[in-house]
Amino acid sequence: MKTVGHVKAVDGITFDIFRGQTLGLVGESGCGKTTAGRALLRLVRPTGGSMHFDGNNINKLDRHGLRQLRNRMQIIFQDPYGSMNPRMTVQAALSEPMALHGIGSSRRDRVDRAASLLEEVGLLSEHLGRYPHEFSGGQRQRICIARALAVEPEFIVCDESVSALDVSVQAQVLNLLNDLQERRGLTYIFISHDLSVVKFMADMMAVMKDGKFVEFGPSEAIYRNPSEDYTRELIAATPRDNLDHIRELVQHRRQIRQSTD
């Protein structure tokens, strides 16, 4: 076969993410947002540029360096059905990454840690012995979140992590991710095609089109006063019930914060 040209999935983007913050990457399918997120974890190998995490050039890490990196950087995938091994119990799914990265002093310790993780994401320790098909989509995504937390990461890429869920379940998972961030001091890249969801989750937002950033800045400012027609089209494409639901979520979180101040 003859190659007639190349397409750059990600082209010339530059950004910083500060510890404890969330950067949202938003755009239509094929805009390059998922490729950008996965490149940070070296799940895809970039052909140029540089990426730095805590002073380390990710592009130059060898196998050992990557293994250490993935102890600190994790990903939550879009599909809670496809990202879990149907033949593994929840206990095995949560214990496996711990064993791989040397977390836990014994098998018993890892089981106890797995039980604590389940409770942290809103499930029960009794669920450890169950298989993926015994859970709903929202419960599976909570398990996937627990699995990402199993190696005690500092940075998580959330790749369309609520797009496969019903709106009501999305709200629960989004609030869980925010609560985990506040408790653990996590840093997120939150990838979505839904600008209203990114606005709810992210401190900063990058709107992507054809592998480039067409707009970058504080999420609230972009949402209220977009400068690009493409961004306005993304906002207009958001279902009305999603917008109303996001507003309710924002108000709910404000009330919670006021009550704890």
Per-residue pLDDT of the chain (261 residues; tens, 9 = 90+): 555 445 566 767 888 899 999 999 998 888 888 888 888 888 888 877 888 888 888 888 888 888 888 889 999 988 877 888 999 999 999 999 999 999 998 999 999 999 999 999 999 999 999 999 999 989 999 999 999 999 999 999 999 888 878 877 888 899 999 999 999 999 999 999 888 889 889 999 999 998 889 999 999 999 999 999 999 999 888 765 555 555 566 566 656 656 655
Q: Minimal CA–CA distance to 145: which of 199, 184, 107?
A: 184
Query: How many other CB atoms sit within 10 Å of the CB of residue 102?
Result: 9
**pLDDT for residue 13:** 81
**pLDDT for residue 117:** 97
- Give dist(CA 20, CA 49) in Å, integer: 25
Task: Give the helix ranges, DSSP H, for 10-136.
Answer: 33-40, 63-72, 90-100, 107-120
**pLDDT for residue 5:** 47
Phi, psi (rounded to 5 degrees) for 72: -110, -15
Token pair listed for 155: 């940075």
**pLDDT for residue 151:** 94
**pLDDT for residue 250:** 58
Q: Work out the burial of residue 37: count CB atoms within 10 Å of its CB; fewer than 13 is exposed, 13-18 middle, 19 or more buried.
A: buried
Antiparallel, parallel or unpaired: β 212-218 and 204-209: antiparallel
**pLDDT for residue 241:** 52
**pLDDT for residue 19:** 93
- Give dist(CA 187, CA 204) in Å, integer: 12
